[in-house]
């Protein structure tokens, strides 16, 4: 069987799914492109998150991407300016709740960054300046628990204001406009 693979720059406000089981109208991935039947999103992004999303018809590849073998890098705009001590907590593993149970995250790579001007991002206001300053972090993880990055930054007292998945394995968001879908022969996992 021939498999199909896609790279998508998921815009803010879209569900990472093809069917809406709720009665309320939501924007879906199927609104962006006519995907082949059997296509699934790999490592979903919540409705408020944006950035790189893989889609494939290959279930084994989906499992590999979601495994701890493949790095996922996020650009995260957070409230305030986390101290070096707070960043070290993120790096060494922090306790968060996943499905009502405590979970300690694996070690992460965490760095301060400037606004990622090199990316074709949708320019949108996240909030007013009167709510205080914000800063940007790059957070690279090897797991992908439900809303993990958001829970990690909240645990150090710096809630996420904007979340952009920049990289999965060797694939990066560079040069892909928001909402753009590219069909590819294979996905670069390293």
Three-state SS at 138? strand
Q: Are 187 and 66 in contact (CB under 8 A)?
A: no
> How many whole angstroms separate alpha carbon 24 and alpha carbon 27?
10
Q: Are 93 and 152 in contact (CB under 8 A)?
A: no
> How many whole angstroms separate alpha carbon 140 and alpha carbon 31?
29
Distances (CA, A) of 25 to 8, 39, 184: 21, 21, 30
**Of 46, 58, 128, 174, which residue is the catalytic one?**
46
> How many whole angstroms separate alpha carbon 44 and alpha carbon 21?
16
Per the annotation, the verdict on 174 as an active-site residue is no
Helix axis angle, 148-155 to 84-92, nearest 10°: 140
Cα angle for residues 170, 173, 174 (degrees, 5° grid): 100
Residues labelled catalytic: 46
């Amino acid at each position: 069987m021939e498999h199909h693979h896609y790279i998508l720059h998921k815009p803010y406000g879209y569900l990472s799914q093809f069917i809406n089981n709720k009665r309320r109208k939501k924007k879906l991935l199927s609104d962006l492109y006519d995907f082949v039947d059997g296509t699934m999103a790999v490592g979903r992004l919540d409705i408020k998150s944006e950035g790189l999303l893989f889609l494939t018809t290959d279930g084994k590849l989906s499992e590999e991407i979601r495994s701890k073998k493949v790095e996922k890098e996020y650009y995260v705009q957070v409230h305030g300016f986390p101290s070096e001590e707070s960043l070290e907590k993120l790096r060494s593993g922090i306790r968060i709740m996943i499905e009502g149970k405590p979970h300690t995250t694996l070690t992460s790579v965490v760095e301060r960054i400037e606004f990622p001007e090199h990316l074709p991002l949708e320019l949108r206001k996240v909030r007013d300046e009167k709510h205080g300053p914000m800063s940007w972090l790059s957070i690279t993880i090897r797991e992908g628990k439900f809303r993990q990055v958001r829970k990690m930054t909240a645990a150090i007292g710096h809630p996420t204001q904007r979340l952009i998945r920049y990289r999965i394995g060797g694939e990066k968001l560079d040069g892909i406009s928001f909402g753009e879908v590219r069909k590819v022969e294979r996905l670069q996992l390293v």
